[in-house]
Structure 1
Amino acid sequence: MAIEIKVPTVGESISEVTLVKWLKKDGEYAERDEVIAELESEKATFEINAEQAGAVKQIAKEGDTLAIGDVVCSIDTDAPKPAAAAPTAKPAEAAAPVAKVATEPAAAPANVDVKATPVAAAIIADKKIDSKKIVASGENGKIFKQDVLDALNNPGRNPAAEMFSRNDRPEKLSNLRKTISRRLVEAKNSTAMLTTFNEVDMTAIMEVRKKYKDKFKETHSVNLGFMSFFTKACCYALQKYPAVNAYLDGENIIYHDYCDISIAVSAPKGLVVPVIRNAESLSMAGVEAAVVDLATKAKNNKLTIEEMTGGTFTITNGGIFGSMMSTPIINIPQSAILGMHNIVERPMAINGQVVIRPMMYVALSYDHRIIDGRESVGFLVTVKQLLENPSLLLFGKDPVDALLEL
């Protein structure tokens, strides 16, 4: 009996998806619940599983755009399960690198599946070369000694590629990239966006990290990064200036009594913005753990739609790519976004003396329809003060002011 595997419903606003990759070949046997293909919607990448065990009959092709409910493939549940393959002896060439040096019995090619001559395989193992970066000149992709030497002498360059090529390569926009493009243009055209800047002396934070990073990791099993400091500072500033944590809905302004912080993450298929829920209630370790979890899921294309929707404010860090200053675009329907940048040692005038300090420019882009200059500048100054005096993050303001309820 053949059963049909259809595109599932993945969200109220999503009507079509793209078949990104088949994980099971046409005719290949799949166990029940085994992943057989990857689909991509305008918001996330997700997997479809075999509902029953059987042989997969591909109907859609990689790159096809499918509507919700379309048939992706069928599964022949009457197909016999293939017998497990008996282990086979390794070819002599695969064993050659191991026997090459008696004092290094563990040496092996970087990729045991690669087709290579014994000499080429030995060099690959000795130099720990990624065989995928080697251009094979032999028949059926076989790698020769000269191919490996070319890769060593020309790292990062394909020696077989045509010089001064003028080829054009059309590539279809993914659903995710289409959505990113549409939302960015919509944000520019539908908001009265303005950006205000300030600079933060990162000396105090860097000293705290240097002093406590080892103990912090030992205690909480996560690294102490900059994101937790910025997230906590933003949460206090958002509570002090609620307009920055609000959005415009028709003739109403919707204020949030919580801080769901979106963090911009560069994923393999484009920029995604997963959300840290109730960040104002999390500890520093809780924020760091959430960042690691979301970033790992983004890297592996495992984020769900729920994890990428509903944020109230966004933080983006262009500094990891070396950006000195930028004007980040609002993540609609939110009303503001904070841009972090790289840390640069610069001469600063401190108490009449010129000293070198690690400085970071920060930028706040905001919707001027909701947020006035007072709120935007006040928000950014508050973030600056909290970051330059990390002890204030315990109460969100000066401890004496908190004690005296000032």
Structure 2
Amino acid sequence: MRTSDLIASAVSNTFRSKTRMILTVLAIFVGAFTLTLTSGLGTGINDYIDDTVSGIGASDAMTVTKADDSAAGSPGQSASEPREYDPNAVSSGVPGGTVSALTPDDITTIENIDGVLRAEPVRTITPDYIQVGDGTRLVASIGSLIPGQSVVLAVGHEPDADSDSFEVALPVAYVEPLGFDDQDDAIGQSVAIAITDADRTSHTVDATIVGITEEGLASAAGSSILVNGPLEDALFAAQSTGLTAEQADLYASATVWFDPDASDEEITALKDALADEGYTGTTIADQLGMVTTVIDGIVLVLNAFAIIALLAAAFGIVNTLYMSVQERTREIGLMKAMGMGSGRVFTLFSLEAAFLGFLGSAIGAGIAMLAGTAISSALSEGFLADLPGLTLIAFDPASIGAIIVLVMVIAFLAGTLPAARAAKADPVESLRYE
């Protein structure tokens, strides 16, 4: 019997006892359905985390601050404990908290550390307000994108770093308060940014709105006015008016780039080298590592329940095929008497098991994809509407294919015992079987 005939015969034999076949397929369906949904959940959440990471910073960059336990608000010190005054302390971005400032000399020192490709200071710009025409003045913060960082855009594009003109991208929440009818209406319009210098003189810088950003889960950029390089330089220069060069060149942190192909060991070595020089380096993975670990753990537990369901289904396959072997004892004896080898008999029953696995997994995966897509869409428009860009349950074709293959392998292995029994059957005894 040719292989194609074996496959056709296995498929045909599967439908001999429809009730038993349906019950077995349903058992497999439960496991495949659950495994597909949990896999889609993990894919959707991890994709969202990846997008969030790209909104926080580049994967090949880390934030570096000066390690100083004497600065107010430093970890490990009581809020009431007296601290020595540090004239170089600057705001850490946390209310009431400060960090020892980085100077141009610090930036040079950091750049000379082995493993650092380049380092740039992060300038803190604090505008007074933004305003369109004579409209309402709104308080806002300023942010900028570093290379490799991205932001979710509702309309328009990111501020062009290579443009000589002043460009901004506004958070979507600012569109209506600034007096625009909708997001598209804001694109191309001018916005004024007011900022006060050290002499208490107010400066106003006009910029063109080129994009509207969605709010991200963990991205400060999503709630800040994004500016391009030339506008950032102009605002910083205005803010620094009245300060000496030494006073202006104080930074809370710096962005350090390293080899994008660096291994975990090399990144750890870079952090250690920074620590030896008195600095602390924090990567994006450090900031979100615990979140991804917890999510992966939850998905792993859910997948474990799905695997348990599949193992229960495997016993159903064993039972189904054992009964099939019992019922077809004379047929097996006849096939062997007509020259079919034990290997072919084994393959025939193993293929029946694999086909049962394929039916259950394909149906389970298909329905899980439909249900998951519907659930994700409903949640995105309702309960999770405040998390733009989140597709809670997303399906990767490669993962779906892997699940179907996995279930078929489990079914195949479950069918080996009854298949082996059929293969070992004595043709004479089988033909005598009543």
Answer 1 or 2: which has greater helix percent.
2
Q: TM-score range by the shorter chain?
A: under 0.3
Q: TM-score, normalised by structure 2?
A: 0.22
Higher-RCO chain (CA-CA 8 Å, sequence separation at least 6): 2
- TM-score, length-scaled by structure 1: 0.23
Larger Rg belongs to = 2
